[in-house]
């Protein structure tokens, strides 16, 4: 789950990380009032669950209340399209107003989970800001990485090492090192999958301040972060992904036209690879989960079919705890309910697979049954 910038910054503030003074508003008038209160130069920022706002015209530094109000009016109620959103963009319903920082330098710090070291890793760079992806590409030596021992946590010496590595002035070493340790505490205590400050700014008067803030929460820890879960903004989420999440289905929408119904995350990944080997693109990742029942399979299949891009579907199930006949009934129910009749290639092996095949064959659906993944791939080409 993603938090908005204003929510992320409120958390950061709780953890002793300096953030600019400001607030959030839902109307141009409120934005004007906030800007008036803050006085002087302010920055007005669209609050959306996507980065790249700066380049997309979602951020402006303005002088005074009326300019702030005007810019807010141009954002609110519209969709913002950035390089991280789809072409339709995401709706802007809230706008943040903050005292503008006088920027001397933009640096970068983030914490993510690193699969390779099986730990959290702090990533930092002396060149932060909107071109961070380019820095990572063209001067990877400028990106520092410090893996964190999960038992010991981020040690003060590691924070200092990062700060020195970023070539900061001596008086900035300590506040930056402390900030790194505080960000790590936040990351762990709030069960984050990402905590990022880009840019972390060195101001003209030599303070370190988080000018942007991004926090993503690990959905698997939702049960112990109830308060933060209450901050979820469904309006920012992909409708189908949000629906799937509510039914505990792992579903990620992609750009292709082949819907996939699979049980098990590993099998789902392998299935997507197979789809690509025949020159097709998956429309989604979907792991219906081991303990799914008819209802859940029906829901999963309905979600797949609700994506207008889906022209054909590959079902790849290995029946274990989820019996194949149960899955087959769910699929048939979904097609009946949605009145959809897509071309389906189905590979169902394992428990009760023969019942499943019979159910599908007698369903009147446009389905081709296969035994192997190779066959599935070949058939997929035919049902294009
Ligand atoms: P993002 O593009 O979605 O990551 O949005 P950011 O919050 O990072 O803002 C984009 C850019 O706007 C930053 O990299 C800064 O260069 C600029 N910016 C943001 N806040 C301020 C500010 O307070 N003062 C100044 N001068 N520039 C700012
Ligand atoms: Mn940013």
Whether residues 164 and 304 share a domain: the answer is no
For the chain, the average pLDDT equals 96
Residue 290, pLDDT above cutoff 90: no
Ligand 1 pocket: which of 41, 197, 199 to mutate (most atoms within 8 A of CB): 199
Q: Exposure string (b/e) for 88-110, b if CB count within 10 Å is 16 or more?
A: ebbbbbbbbbbbbbeeebbbbbb
Domain count, the chain: 3
Domain boundary among 198, 221, 237: 237
Pair (336, 224) in one structural domain? no
Residues 223-240 have a mean pLDDT of 95
Ligand 1 pocket member 195 (CB < 6 A) = no
176 and 163 Cβ atoms separated by less than 8 Å = yes
The domain in which residue 270 lies consists of: 239-382
Supply the pLDDT for residue 86: 85
Residues 267 and 192 in one domain: no
291 confidence band (pLDDT: 50, 70, 90): confident
CATH number for position 76: 3.30.1490.20
223: Cβ contacts below 8 Å, ≥ 6 apart: none
> What is the 59 CA–ligand 2 centroid distance (Å)?
10
| Catalytic residue (one of 30, 196, 251, 294) | 196
Cα–Cα distance, 276 to 235 (Å, whole number): 32
Q: What percentage of the chain exceeds 90 in pLDDT?
A: 94
Nearest ligand to the C-alpha atom of residue 203: 1
For range 36-59, the mean pLDDT: 97
CA dihedral 328, 329, 335, 338 (to 10 degrees): -140
* Residue where the block lists tokens 């039914």: 247
Per-residue pLDDT of 86-126, as tens digits, reads 888 999 999 999 999 999 999 999 999 999 999 999 999 99
> Are residues 163 and 26 part of one domain?
no
Confidence check: pLDDT of 384 > 80: no
pLDDT (average), residues 20-31: 98
Mutate to test the pocket of ligand 1, among 40, 60, 130 (most ligand atoms within 8 A of CB): 130
Are residues 45 and 167 both part of a single domain? Answer: no
Q: Which of 100, 121, 141 is the last residue of a domain?
A: 100
74 CA distance to ligand 1 middle (Å): 18
Ligand 1 proximity of 199 Cβ (cutoff 6 Å)? yes
233 and 332 in a single domain? The answer is: no
Domain CATH code at residue 16: 3.30.470.20
For residue 9, the SS3 value is: helix
**Long-range contacts made by residues 229-234, C-beta under 8 angstroms, separation at least 24?**
229/1, 231/3, 231/4, 231/7, 232/1, 233/4, 233/49
CB 119 within 8 Å of CB 219: no
Is residue 204 among the annotated active site residues?
A: no
In terms of domains, do 11 and 112 share one? yes
Q: What is the DSSP letter of 100?
A: P
Q: What is the CATH number of the domain that holds 264?
A: 3.40.50.261
- Do 79 and 172 lie in one domain? The reply is no
Q: For residue 363, is pLDDT > 90?
A: yes
In ligand 1, which atom is closest to the CA atom of 100?
23
Q: Are both 36 and 114 inside the same structural domain? A: no
Using a 6 Å cutoff on CB, does residue 213 contact ligand 1? no
What pLDDT was estimated at residue 306?
96
Whether residues 142 and 205 fall in one domain: yes
Among 237, 257, 283, the domain-final residue is 237
* 3 and 142 fall within a common domain: yes
Express each pLDDT in 266-289 by its tens digit. 999 999 999 999 999 999 999 998
Q: Are residues 193 and 261 in the same domain?
A: no
Query: Under 8 Å CB-to-CB from 52, ≥6 apart: which residues?
Result: 82, 83, 84, 85, 130
The predicted pLDDT at position 273 comes to 95
State the Cα–Cα distance between residues 380 and 310, nearest whole angstrom: 13
Read off the DSSP letter of residue 2.
Answer: B
Q: Output the CA 76–ligand 1 centroid distance in Å.
A: 18
The pLDDT score that the predictor gives to residue 289 is 86
What phi, psi does 370 have (nearest 5°)? -130, 165
User: Is residue 196 annotated as part of the catalytic site, yes or no?
Assistant: yes
E strand or H helix at 30: helix 28-38
């Amino acid at each position: 789950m993603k938090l908005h910038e204003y929510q992320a910054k409120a958390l950061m503030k709780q953890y002793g990380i300096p953030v600019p003074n400001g607030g959030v508003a839902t109307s141009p008038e409120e934005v004007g009032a906030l800007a008036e209160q803050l006085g002087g130069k302010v920055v007005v920022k669209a609050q959306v669950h996507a980065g790249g706002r700066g380049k997309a015209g979602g951020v402006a530094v303005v002088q005074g209340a009326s300019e702030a109000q005007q810019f807010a009016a141009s954002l609110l109620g519209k969709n913002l399209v950035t390089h991280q959103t789809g072409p339709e963009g995401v709706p802007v319903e809230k706008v943040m107003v903050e005292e503008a920082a006088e920027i001397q330098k933009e640096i970068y710090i983030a914490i993510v989970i690193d699969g390779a070291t099986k730990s959290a890793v702090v990533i930092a760079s002396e060149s932060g800001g909107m071109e961070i992806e380019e820095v990572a590409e063209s001067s990877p030596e400028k990106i520092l990485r410090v893996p964190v021992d999960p038992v010991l946590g981020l040690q003060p010496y590691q924070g200092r090492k990062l700060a020195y590595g970023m070539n900061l002035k001596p008086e900035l070493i300590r506040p930056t090192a402390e900030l790194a340790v505080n960000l790590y505490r936040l990351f762990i205590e709030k069960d984050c999958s990402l905590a990022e400050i880009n840019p972390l700014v060195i101001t003209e008067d030599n303070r370190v301040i988080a000018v942007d803030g991004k926090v993503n929460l690990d959905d698997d820890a939702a049960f112990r972060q109830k308060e933060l879960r209450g901050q979820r903004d469904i309006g920012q989420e992909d409708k189908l992904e949000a629906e799937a999440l509510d039914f505990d289905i792992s579903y990620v929408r992609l750009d292709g036209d082949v819907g996939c119904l699979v049980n098990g995350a590993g099998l789902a990944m392998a299935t997507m690879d197979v789809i690509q080997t025949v020159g097709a693109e998956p429309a989604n990742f979907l792991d219906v989960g081991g303990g799914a029942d008819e209802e859940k399979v029906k829901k999963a299949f309905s979600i797949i079919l609700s994506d207008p891009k889906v022209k054909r579907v590959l079902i790849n199930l290995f029946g274990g705890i989820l019996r194949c006949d149960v899955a087959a009934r769910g699929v048939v129910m979904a097609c009946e309910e949605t009145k959809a009749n897509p071309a389906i290639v189905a590979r169902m092996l394992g428990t009760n697979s023969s019942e499943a095949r019979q159910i599908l064959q007698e369903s009147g659906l446009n389905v081709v049954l296969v035994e192997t993944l190779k066959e599935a791939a070949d058939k997929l080409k035919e049902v294009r």
